[in-house]
């Protein structure tokens, strides 16, 4: 019976991980969350396929609980939710498998566990478009001194420190039980203590550094508008009108001069996306008109779009005499006509005169939800299967004297996307002052998926040392400083506007320069140490 209980306990690490993350977010559990998985890694008893199956099932349950908000988006998402959870559970099993093989080949657990953990998180962030939500490092989002090393190693670095602490506690426990040698435990404790102290000292130093002058003042709109995959023209127009009314009232009622109003993802479209025409235009067959007539039609559409935006700005100006009308950063659909029509989830920059200055197309699309890879291989399917196209890449928009880099929805939830875009802009000498992300988390009801998304944004802010402001339908609408602290946020599901003025930060980020190279080195090291010959004298 005692052995049976001991074996059962090895399956509860996913429960400890869940407790450390939202919705409960009891972060101290992160320091012991994977200890029971370490038992599997060092166990002298062979681990059977049945053991790994049970471990995978336990991890699948963790992901089902963590991502349960996905099911609210659409009935079909129940299947996708289950499939995604089962897929992500493989990485936890991989951690145990790789860690165990490394230990069997003579690698110290003190080295094997952090390397194996970072390796599986790194692969998860890239394979099949990647996902960063619920990384181990995200458990520390509310502990400022612990997350500052993200500007050195990203969220991976925080996870590595936490795994080292787990190993030290585990080996100390093993030593107390007489199942570990004092040298291994002492070494592990020394390494973990050094890493923790260095992390805290660095965090104390970084959070104490002053930031620069205030940037533009943003009005971040949030409403609890119900959304569906297929919405009528009338419903889309109703959503637009509701947001327009709130924008006017919010700017009118604040004592601050608002420079920029930010509309969440797709909320500005109102069944009227922005349209552009490329020089290589091929008129769609269904249009049944000449190229000149089609161009004239698009021009008329653009005039209507601009007049609608200008009308909102005029009403705002009338309510705030003596102030300049704010510029708009609007989540909006964009259709580009070229040799093949292309549709984008986009951010449109509307200048103070109502004219569209620039737009950014989402570069990282949701697999299946926004695109299906086969569409690119069989162009004839494009007209039958709804999909979106990828944007051209990172963009800096100069808005009200502030350089902003727009970001849409999942792009913040996949850390490498925003970090790589920032690095690209830095390389082009177009370094932004602030990341403006627009999202529509109304799909996920009031679930913890919203909090996971927000934590991803917090770590992105630290990783690139730039403030992040987020406007979301339903939430999370928040202002995050360049140290990852949430300086202000709105309650999920509320119809409110957040007025915020982030501060400039010109600090450099090592992670933005070198990216995930250290994490990929862990992948390479794990592969090398896993395949090396077994030590005949362990």
Structure-block tokens of residue 298: 């698009």
Set 121, 225, 265, 411: catalytic member = 265
d(CA 282, CA 169): 65
To which H or E segment does residue 516 belong? none
Q: How far is residue 11 CA from its own chain's centroid? A: 28
Backbone angles phi, psi at 405, to 5 degrees: -115, 110
Structure-block tokens of residue 429: 């000498």
Set 225, 362, 415, 456: catalytic member = 362
Set 39, 409, 456, 522: catalytic member = 409
Spatial CA neighbour of 335 closest among 294, 364, 307, 376: 294
Structure-token match 């127009």, residue found = 237
d(CA 377, CA 379): 6
Backbone angles phi, psi at 330, to 5 degrees: -120, 125
Output the 3-class SS for 153-198.
HHHHHHHHHHHHHHHHHHHHHHHHCCCCCHHHHHHHHHHHHHHHHH
Contact 395, 405 (CB under 8 A): yes
Q: Where are the alpha helices (DSSP H) in 320-441?
A: 374-377, 410-413, 415-427
Residue 352: DSSP 8-state = T
Strand partners, 486: 480
Count CB neighbours of 133 within 10 A: 20
332 catalytic? Reply is no
Name the E strands within 10-124: none
522 catalytic? Reply is no
Catalytic residues: 265, 362, 409
């Amino acid at each position: 019976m005692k052995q049976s209980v001991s074996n059962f306990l090895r399956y509860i690490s996913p429960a400890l991980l869940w407790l450390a993350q939202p919705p409960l977010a009891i972060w101290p559990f992160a320091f012991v969350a994977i200890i029971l998985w370490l038992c599997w890694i060092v166990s002298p008893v062979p681990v059977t396929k049945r053991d790994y199956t049970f471990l995978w099932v336990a991890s699948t349950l963790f992901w089902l609980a963590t991502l349960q908000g996905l099911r609210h988006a659409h009935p079909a998402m129940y299947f996708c939710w289950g499939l995604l959870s089962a897929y992500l559970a493989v990485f936890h099993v991989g951690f145990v498998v790789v860690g165990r093989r490394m230990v069997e080949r003579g690698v110290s657990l003190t080295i094997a566990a952090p390397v194996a953990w970072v390796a599986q998180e790194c692969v998860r962030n890239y394979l099949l478009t990647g996902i960063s939500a619920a990384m181990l490092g995200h458990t520390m989002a509310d502990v400022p001194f612990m997350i500052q090393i993200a500007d050195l190693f990203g969220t991976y670095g925080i996870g590595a420190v936490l795994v080292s602490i787990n190993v030290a506690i585990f080996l100390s426990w093993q030593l107390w039980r007489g199942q570990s040698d004092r040298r291994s435990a002492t070494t592990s404790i020394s390494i973990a203590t050094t890493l923790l102290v260095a992390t805290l000292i660095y965090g104390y130093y970084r959070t104490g550094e002053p930031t620069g002058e205030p940037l533009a003042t943003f009005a971040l709109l949030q409403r609890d508008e119900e959304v569906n995959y297929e919405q009528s023209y009338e419903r889309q127009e109703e959503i637009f009108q509701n947001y327009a009314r709130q924008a006017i009232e919010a700017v009118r009622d604040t004592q601050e001069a608002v420079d920029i109003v930010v509309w969440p993802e797709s909320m500005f479209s109102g069944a009227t996306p922005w349209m552009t025409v490329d020089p290589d235009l091929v008129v769609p067959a269904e249009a049944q008109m000449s190229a000149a007539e089609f161009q004239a039609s698009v021009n008329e559409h653009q005039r209507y779009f601009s007049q609608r935006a200008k009308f909102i700005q005029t009403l705002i100006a009338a309510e705030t005499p003596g102030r300049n009308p704010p510029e708009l950063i609007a989540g909006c659909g964009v259709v580009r006509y070229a040799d093949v029509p292309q549709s984008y989830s986009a951010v449109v920059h509307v200048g103070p005169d109502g004219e569209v200055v620039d737009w950014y197309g989402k570069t990282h699309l949701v697999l299946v939800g926004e695109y299906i890879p086969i569409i690119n291989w069989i162009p004839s399917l494009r007209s039958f299967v709804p999909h979106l196209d990828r944007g051209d890449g990172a963009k800096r928009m100069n808005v009200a004297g502030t350089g902003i880099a727009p970001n849409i929805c999942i792009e913040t939830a996949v850390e490498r996307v925003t970090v790589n875009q920032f690095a690209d802009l830095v390389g082009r000498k177009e370094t932004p002052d602030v990341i403006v992300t627009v999202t529509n988390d109304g799909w996920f009801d009031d679930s913890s998926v919203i909090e996971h998304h927000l934590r991803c944004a917090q770590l992105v802010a630290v990783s690139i040392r730039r403030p992040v402001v987020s406007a979301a339908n339903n939430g999370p609408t928040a202002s995050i400083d360049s140290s990852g602290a949430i300086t202000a946020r709105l309650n999920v599901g509320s119809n409110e506007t957040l007025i915020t003025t982030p501060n400039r930060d010109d600090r450099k980020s090592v992670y933005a320069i070198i990216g995930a190279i250290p994490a990929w080195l862990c992948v390479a090291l794990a592969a090398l140490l896993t395949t090396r010959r077994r030590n005949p004298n362990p």
